[in-house]
Amino acid sequence: MNSKIKRLLRKNIFELSPYSSAREEYVGKEGIFLDANENPYGIYNRYPDPYQNQLKQKLAEIKKCKSNQIFIGNGSDEVIDLAFRIFCEPYQDTALTFAPTYGMYQVSADINAVELIQIPLNKNFQIDRKTVENCLKDENLKLIFICSPNNPTGNLLNTDDIEFILQKFSGIVIIDEAYIDFAAQNSFIEKLNIYPNLIVSQTLSKAWGLAGIRLGVAYMNEEILAFYNKVKSPYNISSINQEMTLKYLNQQEEFNSKLNEILFERTKLINELNHLNLVKKVYPTDANFILMEVKNADELYKKLIEKQIIIRNRNSVIPKCLRITVGTPEENQKLITELKVIDNG
């Protein structure tokens, strides 16, 4: 094993003897299965494939990587939580991210009793190399979360800055690419073979439109994957979820047309928002949402709620800012109509 990865692991995880499920000890498909205490009757009576092999083959084909570089979690939340559980000693190790960003890193850090250092992004919502460089030598720093495109700001973080961190830091770098399909840039998946310490986290919740299914996908080197597989619960993705996901992954054309529609609507929305007096600034976006600064965020948020249009109030995170998810053409039109009424009122 790469001694660098070993050094990063928690001792109990390195030494862990994982649970060995019935479906691991005998993997054949044919036979009389009297080994897992399943009920012989029913449609969903059998335990699912613990390693979701069919699904991983399909994902490997779509993402042009190897199926033994893929971990599937019950949403990205599981991918994030497992990173803490595998690498961070509670009350001792630390993790780092760039604020403002996705709230789950902090929640997951808190649950796992790990301190999360938050370095502010600069005024263009980019990484400040000097500040981060000073933190990278800390031996207790095990994880860095980089969300790109970033939520709630919407922008991609500069590739050069991300690679700077990947090269200088010997811990694990998790790039959260939940919104990458909306972005005009390639995924870091293609750099997995260059950086052994890289985990790329994606999800089927956004561009694939499958938030209800709960499926997070992380791409990583085999060595890290081995520990993800040891620590995850044995049957973490249900048969129903595996089947449904596979069905939708085979509808690539549907995916492309929905994606293009959302991107088209995004451009339209940005244009419309830029013409409103109450909008002070529309931030550039590479995601399916738009961050904007307005005169009075709390007031506007409430006025829209009265019209049953619900957007995200980010005033407490970025002053005067609201975040709008791109909806259907009809939904977006309703939003713009209401905003124009308020603008003229």
Ligand X SMILES: *Cc1c(COP(=O)(O)O)cnc(C)c1O
CB contact at 8 A, 197 and 4:
yes
CB contact at 8 A, 146 and 171:
no
* Residues 243-302, interacting with ligand X (CB under 6 A): none
Q: How far is the CB of 101 from ligand X (least distance, A)?
A: 7
Rule CB under 6 A: say whether 216 interacts with ligand X.
yes
* Phi–psi pair at 237, nearest 5 degrees: -120, 120
Rule CB under 6 A: say whether 76 interacts with ligand X.
yes
Q: Which residue is nearest to ligand X (CB)?
A: 75
Q: How far is the CB of 41 from ligand X (least distance, A)?
A: 34
Q: How far is the CB of 188 from ligand X (least distance, A)?
A: 14
Q: How far is the CB of 76 from ligand X (least distance, A)?
A: 3
CA trace torsion 199, 5, 10, 68 (10° rounding): 50
Rule CB under 6 A: say whether 153 interacts with ligand X.
no
Q: How far is the CB of 203 from ligand X (least distance, A)?
A: 3
Task: Determine the size of the site formed for ligand X (CB under 6 A).
Answer: 13
* Helices marked H in the chain: 3-8, 11-14, 22-25, 53-63, 76-87, 104-111, 129-133, 159-168, 222-231, 239-249, 252-274, 297-306, 329-344
Q: Give just the sign of the alpha carbon dihedral 301, 118, 169, 79.
A: negative
What is the C-alpha separation between 126 and 147, in angstroms, rounded?
A: 11
Task: Indicate which single residue of 14, 33, 47, 102 sits in contact with ligand X (rule: CB under 6 A).
Answer: 102
Task: Indicate which single residue of 108, 112, 148, 203 sits in contact with ligand X (rule: CB under 6 A).
Answer: 203
User: Is 176 or 286 the residue whose CB approaches ligand X more closely?
Assistant: 176
Structure token digits, residue 208: 């694939």
* Phi–psi pair at 292, nearest 5 degrees: -135, 150
* Phi–psi pair at 80, nearest 5 degrees: -70, -50
Rule CB under 6 A: say whether 211 interacts with ligand X.
yes
Task: Indicate which single residue of 151, 155, 221, 285 sits in contact with ligand X (rule: CB under 6 A).
Answer: 151
CB contact at 8 A, 317 and 181:
no
- Per-residue buried b or exposed e for 239-267, using 16+ beta carbons within 10 Å of the residue's own CB: bebbeebeebbeeeeebeeebeebbebbe
User: Is 5 or 144 the residue whose CB approaches ligand X more closely?
Assistant: 144
DSSP state of 181: G
* Rg of the chain in Å (alpha carbons): 22
Task: Indicate which single residue of 13, 22, 46, 75 sits in contact with ligand X (rule: CB under 6 A).
Answer: 75
Q: How far is the CB of 177 from ligand X (least distance, A)?
A: 8
User: Is 14 or 102 the residue whose CB approaches ligand X more closely?
Assistant: 102
Task: Indicate which single residue of 38, 49, 77, 293 sits in contact with ligand X (rule: CB under 6 A).
Answer: 77
Structure token digits, residue 60: 């490997």
User: Is 149 or 336 the residue whose CB approaches ligand X more closely?
Assistant: 149
Rule CB under 6 A: say whether 315 interacts with ligand X.
no
Rule CB under 6 A: say whether 178 interacts with ligand X.
yes
Rule CB under 6 A: say whether 205 interacts with ligand X.
yes
Task: Indicate which single residue of 82, 147, 220, 282 sits in contact with ligand X (rule: CB under 6 A).
Answer: 147
Q: How many residues does the chain have?
A: 345
Stretch that binds ligand X, among 64-72, 111-119, 198-206, 233-241 (CB under 6 A): 198-206
Structure token digits, residue 93: 């190790």
User: Is 111 or 211 the residue whose CB approaches ligand X more closely?
Assistant: 211
Q: How far is the CB of 344 from ligand X (least distance, A)?
A: 33
Which positions lie near ligand X, rule CB under 6 A? Answer: 75-77, 102, 147, 151, 176, 178, 203, 205-206, 211, 216
